[in-house]
Amino acid sequence: MMDQQGKVNRRAVVLGVGMAAAAATAGFALRAGAGEPIRLRSRQTSYSFEGMQTHGLYSLQDAAPPPVLRMRQGVPVEIEVTNGVDEHTTMHWHGIRLPNAMDGVPYLTQFPIAPGERFRYAFTPPDAGTYWYHPHCMTMRQMAYGLTGLLIVEEQDDPGFDADIPLNLKDFRLDAAGRLLPYFTPRGAARGGTFGNLQTTNWQLNPRYDLPAGSLVRLRIAATDNTRVYRLMLPDIAGRVIAWDGHPLRDAIALPTAADPLWLSPGQRVDIAVQMPDTEGREVTLAAVLGPTPKPLATLRAIGPSQGRDLAEIAPLPRNPVSEPDLSTAERRSLVFGWSPDGAGQNNGFCGNSAYTFWSIDRQPWPGDAVSGTGAVATLSLGKTYIFKLQNESPNNHPIHLHGLALLPLRSNKRTLRQNWTDTILLMKGETVEVAFKADNPGDWAFHCHVIEHQKTGLAGYIHIG
Ligand code: C2O
Ligand code: CU
Ligand code: CU
């Protein structure tokens, strides 16, 4: 069910075994095939989280989360998105360095897709790795109610894992009867955001994946919640962090523990290679530090005789073709993220107006996607290297995301930054960070906080490269 291609036979076997043992599968996947587009249709649906029926969720399948999309590095793909709900939408391919017109940002790169209409996205993913997708119009509601999915770009050569498990971390906000609660509160939007109360992984509560003992598993963990910064731990395992925000590591990241959890903020991804325990029945648990006791998010259970594989068999992933910034010629810019100086709302046209403004970039709150004539927060020359100083003068965390490019973190006034390519960098309260990048992808690139309530109440803008 997971895949049709020969390469993943081992994976199919692994999942087949898992299903026999009534464990969870990592979700339905759609693979880009020669000539045929991937066809997606948004819809509202009902779904049962542990027995409670929740109505009004958004997905691309009935009674199931949005599928995992799989494609291959360097192979062109077409994705046709049909809007099956009664409000406008777009789809954005988070982290993919694609042509600007395919980026899915309403009014900036395309007109919103009206109810019943469709838009065909076409691009060639230049980088392998773990990415994701979500609407960029009516974003807050459509994402809060479920419309987020993983997008996996496979390496040209199979790195040799026995299984590949996408883990889409997302909270839902429900009442005791399973009904959806408001995803926006002015109080939340003006502070850290409005948090969900049900932590899910692939829309399940601590799903268990049965995997052969002693096998090598690639976990692809994505934080797709509107608000929550997950503090992850994966203790007592043989494993290695191998990629961050899609890209192979340049700078090592330690396996996260309870004492030293890994912060994964909205928009970010981490790939971890795990060597399953050799003993049948042993479990490995991914958990979040959340309240007094860690909250299990997903469990891997070793089954069958040991496959006897070793992490050392996995070579480092091949690097992606991201241009190195030329720091010697870099031009410097700085941007301040903070409170909004005015309280007017935003005009997002068909994409969800907001009555509130709380946030700003360089004291300018984003007036809304549909306001014409709004200038870029920075205008850059194609091919030049820039160092951006990003200063958070607010007491809240902001995962700052740039579309269409990859950023290299350089330094912070608060901590040692790991120099791994990123598209979403977490600015902690009071933190100033410098990032470098080569402006090699022309267009208007959305630049915003990925706490969606912050984005939609002013903390947004775009960068022009031309
Ligand atoms: Cu993941 Cu502009 O978004
Ligand atoms: Cu994005
Ligand atoms: Cu923010």
92 Cβ below 6 A of ligand 1 = yes
Three-state SS at 47: strand
- Residue 24: the pLDDT is 72
pLDDT tens digit string along 75-133?
999 999 999 999 999 999 999 999 999 999 999 999 999 999 999 999 999 999 999 99
For residue 311, the CA-to-ligand 2 centroid distance in Å is 32
Nearest to 137 by CA among 446, 463, 465: 446
Query: What residue owns the CA closest to ligand 1's atom 1?
Result: 94
CA distance 300 to 281: 10
456 Cβ below 6 A of ligand 1 = no
Predicted confidence (pLDDT) at residue 26 exceeds the cutoff of 90:
no
Query: What residue owns the CA closest to ligand 1's atom 2?
Result: 446
Three-state SS at 180: strand
267 Cβ below 6 A of ligand 1 = yes
269 Cβ below 6 A of ligand 1 = no
For residue 21, the CA-to-ligand 1 centroid distance in Å is 37
- Residue 342: the pLDDT is 76
Neighbours of ion ligand 3 (CB under 5 A): 398, 449, 451, 454
CA distances (Å), 462 to each of 9, 121, 352, 375, 451, in order? 43, 21, 18, 8, 16
CA distance 269 to 420: 12
Question: Among all ligands shown, which has an atom nearest to the Cα of 106?
Answer: 1
Predicted confidence (pLDDT) at residue 453 exceeds the cutoff of 90:
yes
Q: If you search the block for the tokens 């700003």, which residue do you land on?
A: 360
- Residue 5: the pLDDT is 35
> 131 exposed, middle or buried (CB, 10 Å; 0-12, 13-18, 19+)?
buried
Q: How many other C-beta atoms lie within 10 A of the C-beta of residue 288?
A: 22
404 Cβ below 6 A of ligand 1 = no
446 Cβ below 6 A of ligand 1 = yes
For residue 216, the CA-to-ligand 1 centroid distance in Å is 31
CA distance 57 to 149: 14
pLDDT tens digit string along 308-356?
999 999 999 999 999 999 999 999 999 999 999 777 899 999 999 999 9
- Tokens standing for residue 358: 């709380």
Measured from the CA of 446, which atom of ligand 1 is nearest? 2
- Residue 344: the pLDDT is 86
Q: Could you give the count of Cα atoms lying within 13 Å of 60 in the half-sphere of its Cβ?
A: 27
Average pLDDT over residues 450-463: 98
Mean pLDDT of the chain: 93
11 Cβ below 6 A of ligand 1 = no
Q: Is the Cα dihedral 295, 300, 301, 302 positive or negative?
A: negative
Percent over 70 (pLDDT), the chain: 94
Average pLDDT over residues 47-74: 96
- Residue 23: the pLDDT is 65
* Contact criterion met (CB below 8 Å) for 5 and 32: no
